[in-house]
Structure formats: structure tokens, C-alpha cells
Amino acid sequence: MENEQRKELKVTAIASGTVIDHIPAQNVFQVIKILGLDRSKEMVLFGTYLDSRKYGKKGIIKVSNTFFESDEINKIALVAPSATLIVIKDYKVASKSKVEIPDIVNNIVKCFNPNCITNAESVPTKFDVIKDEEILKLRCHYCEKTTTKDDMVFI
Amino acid sequence: MKNKSLVSINDFTKEQQLRILDISEEFEKNPTQRILEDFVVATLFFEPSTRTRLSFESAASRLGARVIGFSSASSSSVSKGESLKDTILTVSNYSDIIVMRHPKDGSARYASEVSPVPVINAGDGANQHPTQTLLDMYSIRKTQGTLDNLNIAFIGDLKYGRTVHSLTIALTQFNTTFHLVSPPELKLPSYVKRHIKDRNLAYHQYTDLMEVIPVADIIYMTRIQRERFSDPMEYEKVKNIYNLENAMLAGSKDNVRILHPLPRVNEISLDVDSNPKAYYFQQALNGVFVRQALLATILGVK
């Protein structure tokens, strides 16, 4: 409960910006990397392994004065499909939304196939997202091989 | 189809594939036509494939085109460390179309995206080899009079054989019944079977070659490739598992033809060669007509 309270305090501590909640606890650093927050000049607060009634443990990230386009935020769907996006304006929740799995994933994940041209030359990776039987798979635009969730390595 | 690259067989619709086969027929009737005299064809072979390269160069030469290129990476600037992109951009200055064989999967798609001239994929690693698929389709249609409703048997390495995967996927457009003969460890991958299932077509799996001889319209033999095996013991176990001998064809259909992408090793005995049902050398010749049709179509002359 203490964690929950502290989290509430931190959410309200942002005057204006974005809160990304319900991130799988172990994937917070990947989300930071995918969104380029490691290079952000704004205040970034984050927590890992916070208690969550819904998910057991979870992660949360709060970024001041930063608002994401849906294309940009949907990139994190690969590592945080259950994430909730909360836009804060003037200390208040302005809107809440869920991330959506995109149709195409550009230059976030490495191709699993060691013989793929993207692993041999400096070619940006590109995948079609296949939502097949609830399992998320990425089909390489170049070598046409499929990278599954367990094999995903982030660039 | 003018200026359209051919990387994967699916880049062409069924109608476009059939149009290429129709134009190939015209070239079979009249193979020497100097309709590409104004064009330069580049054949970039980053790994050796003598058969495919000569087939393309023969096709281009018979149409009067000039051919430039290299036959292995060691004789190109790749050996100096040049990137694929730079090679493609440079060669596209010298040519009107690029035919490329490259050891990396996906290299052809990438080349087609950076190249200002169209690219024909002559094999990218273990991924695609669409001109082989088209010449196989041409050979099947020519010997059977149709592509529809046939019983096609594939024999050998169905797991790693890129030729088998692409042809199987292409044939799912024609209500084919598939007969798949392989050792258990070299069965057709599930993603290819998925294409068959998606079209509600039938496939049957066997380990004994003799079972498919009486039912097949096409017997498509493949070589079990040593380089695909990480464990040499596994290769030794299966390398000579299928050997088609002339006597085994006694109970086969009259219309059956034996196909093989070549080179063959032990999987077809020499005594089959004189059987009129053997078709693999004509199949290789058909590759020239199909490549003539592709060059002429993509360069906008047909």
C-alpha cells in the first residue's frame, strides 16, 4: 500500500507531461530506450517492481513536458502491450488510453535470422506484425523469416 | 510489369505469372530475337551459381543485350569491403537491369529498394529464387498442358529446399494435390503447409518414394544438400535415402514427368535419363525462355 501511495504522489508531482503505467516490471528500461528517454532533457521519473493490484508487479514512467504521437508510443506495444498512457495537464489527468500494437515495426528489433541482410550490412530493420493466434510475431520485410516474442532483441 | 523488380514469386499476381509463361512460350518458338540491343544487363553473382548465371546470360545474349557483371564476390569490389548498397548504386549507372545472386537472405529486397533500375532476384541465401519457380511452373504446364488439378510429388529435402517451398506456395493457386516424400527430419516446414491448408488443399506425407509413383503427374526430385546439415552424422544417415531408378517407374502414369532443379548427385540414376519421362534437362532449357520473358517484360519490350 505504501508503494501505491507513493506512486500516486509521483503521478501528481508532474505538472504537465505523460505517465506510462502498467508496464511489465522487467521491461521499464526497454521502454525508456525505445522512446529515447535516456536522451531526454526533461525530468524522467520511473519505478520498477511496484506493487499493483491488477498485475502483481509493474513498472511506471513519468516524463515532464513530453507528449507522444500514437505512432511513437505504439512502438512500446512489443514490450508493454498492457501499458496505459495518461496525459497530465495542469496536475490533472487530461486523457487515458491503451497502447495499440502497430502493423509495421521499424528499426526497433533485430532480425532473429543471423543470415539476414539486416545483420550483415547497415540496413534498418523492418517487420510486418503478425497477430496470429494471440501470439505476436514479426515477419522480416527482407529475409521473410519470423521473429517471435521470445527471440526479440532490441536495437 | 515494366520496371517492376522480381524479388519474391508473390511480387507477381497469378495473372502476371501466367503472362510470363505465355511470353516464355513465344520465346521457345523463336528464341533468337534482337529486341534488347539497346540494353545492358548486369549479372552480379556475389556467390557462384554457374547454371543460373549462364542461363540468364544466354537469355540476354539471344535477345541481343550486352551483359556485364561478375561471377563471384572475390572478383568484385566486395573483396575491398564495399557495401551492397554502394555496389548496386554504382552498377545501376552502367546497366538497365540488375540480375543478382547473393548469399544473404533478404539482400534482393534491399537491393531492389536502393536500386534505381529493376532487380531480378537470382537467389538470395536460403530465401527466394523466383525465376526457378517460374521455370518449374512453365515445365509443368508444358508437359501436362495445364497447371490445374495436378498431383505433384516432391521428394527429398523438403525442409531446407527453397525451390520446393516457393513452388509449393505458387502451386497452391492451382488446386494442386501435394505428395510429400521425405525422411522425418526433413519434412516440409509448417509455414509452407499453412499455405496449403489456407487454400483447403490436400497434402499427403510419405517416407517411401514408391508410394507416390503410381499417383504422381509430376515427380519433383531434389538433392539433399550437405551444407544444410550442422551434424555430419545426420547427413550421412539421409544422403542416399532416395534414389530413383528407371525400373521403379514401371507403374507410373503415362503423363508423368521427372523434374529436378539440378545439379543432381545420386538421387536420379543415370538409367532414367533415356526414359522419355525424364524432363530435367529440358527443364533447364526452359529456364532460358522464362528469363528471356522476364528480361523483355521488365525492360518494357514485351
pLDDT tens figures, A101-124: 888 998 889 999 999 999 999 999
Peptide bond into B118 cis (omega under 30): no
Contacts across the A-B interface (CB distance below 8 Å): 52
Residue contact A142–B110, C-beta within 8 A: yes
Q: A104 and A30 in contact (C-beta within 8 Å)?
A: no
Task: For residue A134, give Cα distances in angstroms to A139, A148, B245.
Answer: 15, 12, 48
- Determine the length of chain A: 155
Architecture of domain B9-128+287-298: 3-Layer(aba) Sandwich (3.40)
Q: Report the C-alpha gap between A17 and A6 in whole angstroms.
A: 18
pLDDT over 70 percentage in chain B:
100
In chain B, which residue ranges form alpha helices assigned H by DSSP? 14-29, 50-62, 84-94, 107-114, 130-144, 162-171, 190-198, 232-238, 280-298
The overall average pLDDT reported for chain B is 95
The closest CB to that of A121, out of B84, B124, B127, belongs to B84
Q: A122 and B83 in contact (C-beta within 8 Å)?
A: yes
pLDDT at residue A4 is higher than 60: no
Domain B130-284 has CATH 3.40.50.1370: yes
pLDDT at residue A11 is higher than 70: no
The closest CB to that of B104, out of A120, A122, A146, belongs to A120
Residue contact A115–B105, C-beta within 8 A: yes
Provide the ipTM: 0.88
Q: Which residue has the higher pLDDT, A7 or A67?
A: A67
Residues 6+ apart with CB under 8 A from B230: none
The closest CB to that of B110, out of A123, A144, A145, belongs to A123
The closest CB to that of A143, out of B83, B85, B106, belongs to B106
User: Which residue shows C-alpha cell 512500446?
Assistant: A76
Q: Which of B127, B129, B166 should one mutate to test binding to chain A, selecting the residue with the greatest count of A CBs within 10 A? A: B127
Give the number of other Cβ atoms within 10 Å of residue A36's Cβ: 10
Give the number of other Cβ atoms within 10 Å of residue B200's Cβ: 8
Residue A10 backbone dihedrals phi, psi, to 5 degrees:
-70, -40
pLDDT confidence of residue A2: 45
Residue contact A113–B105, C-beta within 8 A: yes
Mean per-residue pLDDT, B71-94 = 89
Residue contact A142–B105, C-beta within 8 A: yes
Is A120 at the interface with chain B, CB within 8 A? yes
Nearest CA in chain B to A143: B106
Q: CA dihedral in degrees (B43, B48, B51, B53; nearest 10)?
A: 0
> Where exactly does CATH 3.40.50.1370 map onto chain B?
9-128+287-298, 130-284
pLDDT over 90 percentage in chain A:
53
Task: Specify the amino acid at residue B214.
Answer: P
For chain A, the distance separating the N- and C-terminal CA atoms, rounded to the nearest angstrom, is 36
Residues 6+ apart with CB under 8 A from A14: A43, A45, A62, A63, A64, A88, A91
B112 pairs with which residues across the strands? none
Residue contact B110–A121, C-beta within 8 A: yes
The overall average pLDDT reported for chain A is 87
pTM of the model as a whole: 0.87
